[in-house]
Amino acid sequence: MAHWKIHAQHCKELLGNEHYVVHQWLDELVGKTWPSKYHRTYRHHSEGLEEIREKWGDEAYKAGMIHILTDEGQIMNKKEIKKHYDELMKRSKT
């Protein structure tokens, strides 16, 4: 789990632009969900990537992909990532 500034640095190296707004938007809910990692269920998915494309364009979409792949190792849809984190939360309670 990288800080959004680390994600921005990766994008600068790979795309030539930090795309701060993308990383800030993706991680905007950190600390506002419990547990904190659960914030990813809101935007770290394929539907979130499409929202990024609509807001900021194709290169921003690539920045979002880099961010999500760094955090998750794969890109899931909204339903899949919610299920994944729900299962993690269940396991952590047992």
| Residues 45-91 pLDDT 10s | 999 999 999 999 999 999 999 999 999 999 999 999 999 999 988 88
Sign of the CA dihedral running 35, 36, 38, 42: positive
38 DSSP 8-state letter: G
The pLDDT mean for the chain works out to: 91
Residue range(s) defining the domain that contains residue 78: 4-93
31 pLDDT tier (thresholds 50, 70, 90): confident
pLDDT of residue 1: 60
pLDDT of residue 66: 96
Q: How many domains does the chain have?
A: 1
pTM for the full model?
A: 0.87
